[in-house]
Structure 1
Amino acid sequence: MRSDWLPVSAALLVTGAMALALATLVGDSGGSTSETLRSVENNDGRWLAVAVIYLLASACLTLGLPTILYVLQDRSRFLGGLGVISLALGFIGLAGYGMLVTFFRALVITDAIRGPALRAAAEESGLTVVLYGWVVAFVLGELLVTLALLRVPEVPRWVPAVLAAHLVAVALGGVLPDAVTRAAVLLLALGFAGIAITAALPDPHRRSLARA
C-alpha cells in the first residue's frame, strides 16, 4: 500500500524537472567571457530569476526522490538506491549552482569583476572541481536509475528510453549545437514525469502494466 505522501512527492518530482528545464532553456551563459558579462549587465533580472528557479528545482527534485525509490522493485532497489544517492548529491549541487549564479550576478552589476578577472575565476581549479563534481554526480545518478528502471516491468519502456536519450545528448554536448544540447533537458523532464505518473497509478493498474 502506498503512503499518503507519494502523490505529493510525485508532483514535486515533476515540478522540479519542469523548473530545471525552464532554467536551462531560459538561462544564457553566452559564447565567451565578454558575451557573458554583457548578458548579465543587460539581463540581470533574468539571471536572478534563473538562479531562483534553480533553487526551486533543487528543492522539488530532492523531495521527489522517494517517488523514484517507490517504483523500483526489490531486484533493482540496490542499483536504484545508489542512483538516488548520486542524484541527491547532484540536486544539492544544483542549489549551490543557483547560489553561485546569484553571487556572480552581484559581482557583475556592482562592477566588482571584469573580463580578465572573470576568466581567471572561471578557470580556478577548486571551482572547476566542485562544478564538475555535482554534474558528474547528477549524470551518474541518472545513468544508474535508468539501468534500474529497465529491470522494473511496471515502468513503461519509453521512460528509461528518454532518460537514456538525454544521457546521450549530454555525452555529445561538445559535438551537438548548443541549442540542441539545452533542449535535451526536456527529455529528462519527460522521463521524470513518466516515473511520477507510474508511481501515482493505482497498484492494480501498475500490475496490469507488468503483465502486459
Structure 2
Amino acid sequence: MGTGWLPWSAASLASGAVLLVLAALTLPPTSEVGQVVGTVRREDAAWLMASAAFFLASVALTMGLPAILTLIPAKQQVVGLVGVWIWSIGTIGTSALAAFLILFRATVRVIDISPTDVEQLGQDPVMTLSLLFVFGAFYLGELVVALVLLLASRLPRWIPALLLVHIAAAPVNHLLPEQLQGVQAVVLGGGLMALAVRSTEAWAALRAPATR
C-alpha cells in the first residue's frame, strides 16, 4: 500500500483540529441547563456555526486519524490500531452531537420549551447513554493512542502529554469559569495539530530516498 494518502489524511487531521476548536469556542458557554434555551434564542448564529463546525470536525478527524498510525512503531501497531478504531467511534459520534444541536435549535424556535423541559430532556436515559457512549469512545481511544505514543518515544513527550491533559481536564472543565472552558479544546487542538505536522514530516522522510 502506498503512502500517497498520508498527506491528505494529515491535512484532514489538522483541519479537524481547527474546526473542533472553532466549534468549542463558538458554542455559547452556559453553566446551567436552564440557561440553554435563552442562549439558543439570543445567540442563534453562534449556535448554528458551532453545529456546522462540529459536523465538519467529525468528518475531518475521522479521515485524519489514520495518519497517526505512521507515528507508532511496528511493535505497538496493533494496540495503536485498536485505539484509533475506538477513537474513530467517538469522532463519528461527534456528527450526532451536531445533529442534536441543530434539532434542539429547531425545537426551541418552533415550540415554547421551558428550562424545566430542558432539564427533563437531559435526564432522559437514552440520550444520556448515547452521549456517554460517544464521549466515552472519544476519550478512551484518545487515551490509548496517547499512552502508545508516550511509550513509543518517537515523539517529543509534550505532544502525547497534551492529549493526556485534555483527558484529565474533562471531569473538572465544567467547574472552570465560562471564559476558560474552551481551553480544554485548545489543548486537544494543539496536540492534534502537532500530530498532523509530525505525520507529514514522516511522509516526507519516506519519500526523500525515492527522489534522490
Scaled by the length of structure 1, what TM-score is found? 0.89
Alignment of 1:1-212 (within 5 A): 3-173=3-173, 175-202=175-202
Q: Tell me by how many angstroms 1:154 deviates.
A: 2.7
Look up the equivalent residue of 2:11 and give its one-letter code: A
3-state SS of the aligned residue for 1:4?
coil
In the alignment of these two chains, the number of paired residues is 206
Q: CA 1:204–1:55 in 2, change beyond 3 Å: closer, same or farther?
A: closer
1:75–1:181 CA distance, 2 compared to 1 (3 A) = farther
- Aligned counterparts of 2:151 and 2:173: Cα–Cα separation in 1: 28
| Alignment-mate amino acid for residue 35 of structure 1 | Q
SS of 1:87's partner is helix
- CA shift, 1:205, in A, is 5.4
* Aligned-pair CA distance for 1:203: 6.0
Most deviating of 100-109 and 33-42:
33-42
Which runs of 5 or more residues in structure 2 are unaligned?
207-212
% identical equivalent positions: 31
Give SS of 1:57's match.
Answer: helix
Pick closer, same or farther for the CA change 1:75–1:177 going to 2, 3 Å: farther
Whether the 8 Å CA contact 1:165–1:187 is kept in 2: the answer is yes
Contact preservation (8 Å) 2:31, 2:174? no
The offset of 1:204, in angstroms, is: 8.1
Offset from partner CA, 1:186-210 (integer Å, 9 cap, x none): 111111111111111156859xxxx
RMSD over aligned Cα atoms: 2.0
Range 137-146 or range 166-175, more displaced: 166-175
Shift of 1:174: 5.0
Question: How far off its partner does 1:40 sit?
Answer: 0.5
Change (3 A) 1:150 1:107: same
Structure 1 segments unaligned to the other structure (5+ residues): 207-212
